């Protein structure tokens, strides 16, 4: 049983290792002061509004983990309540690993990555599959995104924390890189034209 939000991750075994490695005192101070969040804050909501991908973790009844990449339009992981997130489950390869896992084990994890700005957010909680809720599916869909919503995944937050940016390799979205390449190509063409006029 957890007594503070970070206990969901900092189990007695984890705390023992922290103590042996010398980091337990610092994390104990964190637990006594700000701790981890359990509700959607304005900062988290803003982070979600720009996110077009994340990693979704589930596990079988006996604890075998599974991580799935989830991609969609920016902001497709939405806050639908103070402590609740949800996203549209688009059609895929029909393995249904996450859906099957959630049918027997509601414990789930969201690993939210912003590679461009070297930020990551970890979210622990419980998830459930919602089938056939047209209103919820409509709220979670984006007409401009070319994928059909098959169902919704609703995620009840138990704790979340922002991780340090150390060792996050910066990645730039293709759309932004393409825009910059096109701008540079126009600049090169303009310079070539000017040089041609001078020659």
Contacts of 118 (CB under 8 A, 6+ apart): 165, 168, 170
Asked whether residue 143 carries a pLDDT value surpassing 80, the answer given is: yes
Model pLDDT for residues 37-78, shown as the tens digit of each residue: 999 999 999 999 999 999 999 999 999 999 999 999 999 999
The CATH number covering residue 121 comes to 2.30.110.10
Per-residue confidence (pLDDT) for residue 2, from 0 to 100? 53
Q: How many domains does the chain have?
A: 3
Domain that residue 199 falls in: 169-199
79 and 97 in a single domain? The answer is yes
End-to-end CA distance of the chain: 79
Q: How many angstroms separate the CA atoms of 63 and 107, rounded?
A: 10
Asked whether residue 95 carries a pLDDT value surpassing 60, the answer given is: yes
Model pLDDT for residues 179-198, shown as the tens digit of each residue: 888 889 999 988 888 887 66
89 and 65 in a single domain? The answer is yes
Model pLDDT for residues 8-42, shown as the tens digit of each residue: 999 999 999 999 999 999 999 998 887 899 999 99
15 and 64 in a single domain? The answer is no
């Amino acid at each position: 049983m957890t007594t503070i939000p970070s206990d969901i991750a900092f189990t007695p075994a984890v705390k023992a290792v922290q103590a042996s490695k010398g980091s337990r005192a610092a994390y104990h101070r964190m637990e006594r002061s700000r701790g981890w969040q359990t509700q959607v804050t304005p900062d988290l909501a803003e982070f979600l509004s720009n996110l077009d991908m994340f990693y979704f973790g589930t596990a079988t009844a006996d604890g075998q983990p599974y991580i799935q990449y989830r991609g969609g339009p920016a902001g497709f992981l939405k806050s639908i309540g103070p402590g609740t997130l949800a996203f549209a489950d688009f059609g895929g390869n029909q393995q249904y690993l996450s859906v099957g896992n959630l049918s027997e084990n509601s414990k789930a994890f969201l690993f939210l990555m912003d590679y461009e700005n070297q930020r990551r957010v970890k979210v622990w909680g419980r998830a459930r599959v919602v089938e056939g809720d047209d209103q919820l599916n409509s709220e979670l869909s984006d007409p401009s995104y070319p994928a059909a919503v098959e169902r919704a995944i609703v995620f009840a937050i138990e704790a979340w924390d922002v991780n340090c940016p150390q060792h996050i390799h910066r990645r730039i979205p293709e759309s932004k890189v393409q825009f910059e390449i096109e701008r540079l190509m126009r600049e090169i063409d303009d310079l070539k034209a000017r040089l041609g006029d001078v020659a």
